[in-house]
Amino acid sequence: MYSSRRIGLLLAALLAAACTRAGAAEPGHFGYGSVATPAQIAGWDIDARGEDGTGLPPGKGTVDRGAEVYAEQCAACHGTFGEGEGRFPKLVGGVGSLRDERPEPTVGSYWPFAPTLWDYINRAMPMPAPHTLSADEVYALTAYILSLNDLVPNEFVADRNSLPKVKMRNRDNFIWTDPRPDTAAKPCMNACVNAADVRIASTAEGRNLTPRTTGPLDTMQPK
């Protein structure tokens, strides 16, 4: 007679052997899920690059059509002419204010690329139901908001070819490549300094660089 414990161990061994054979037959496969289809991948691949518009889909939209979509989907939050409502941001104005004490970063004053506006509307707007507008509606909204900011004429038609050519006011004021190194220290990969030889040469303590107290209730005293 086998004990229940021995039977359990035997079943566990058989199960492990079966898993090992299955793993050997399909190396690198975990046995669940399925390979994503091209249509599924396309559903997630929605980004559009700002600088050259790579990723913008086919379609087009006029300023007039954008005014209609804007009135239906956007005006309640962003105002009839993009002036903002309540805590919702302005889309228009603020030109020349970025160095002021209270800058107004809008599409017209701050954004560097027009395709980025299309990308943002497409993935995030309207706020209660993002990613529900058609490509043509997003193109139309983009054209309308650009026209409100006097960046394109009223007859402008937004599409994958015209948007990258729109000259945004703040385009040249961004620094796209940071020339500064991540650290002033030189990296060491081998034969580095012995930690036992490292000595602290100086500290900021006692130089009044950073106050040690934060208020009358803080009783910390300098060492």
pLDDT at 63: 98
What band does 23 get if pLDDT is binned at 50, 70 and 90?
very low
Q: How far, in Å, CA of 91 to CA of 151, rounded?
A: 13
Sort residue 176 into left (φ over 0), alpha (ψ -120 to 50) or beta: alpha
Dihedral angle of Cα 105, 107, 110, 113, to the nearest 10 degrees: 150
| Residue 61 and residue 139 in contact, taking contact as beta carbons nearer than 8 Å | yes
For residue 179, which phi and psi values (nearest 5 degrees)? -80, -10
| Residue 170 and residue 109 in contact, taking contact as beta carbons nearer than 8 Å | yes
Q: What is the pLDDT of residues 93-128, one digit of tens each?
A: 999 999 999 999 999 999 999 999 999 999 999 998
Reference 111, options 123, 126, 101, 121; nearest CA is 121
| More confident position, 207 or 49 | 49
Q: How far, in Å, CA of 13 to CA of 128, rounded?
A: 54
| Residue 119 and residue 54 in contact, taking contact as beta carbons nearer than 8 Å | no
Most confident of 28-32, 196-200, 211-215: 196-200
User: Is 60 strand, coil or helix?
Assistant: strand
Residue whose pair of structure tokens reads 């898993």 in the numeric block:
19
| Residue 123 and residue 60 in contact, taking contact as beta carbons nearer than 8 Å | no
In degrees, to the nearest 5, what angle opens at C-alpha 135 toward C-alphas 71 and 149? 50
Q: What is the pLDDT of residues 133-178, one digit of tens each?
A: 999 999 999 999 999 999 999 999 999 999 999 999 999 998 888 7
Contacts of 87 (CB under 8 A, 6+ apart): none
In degrees, to the nearest 5, what angle opens at C-alpha 67 toward C-alphas 64 and 68? 95
User: Is 158 strand, coil or helix?
Assistant: strand
CB atoms within 10 A of CB 97: 15
Q: Which helix (H) or strand (E) holds 157?
A: strand 157-159
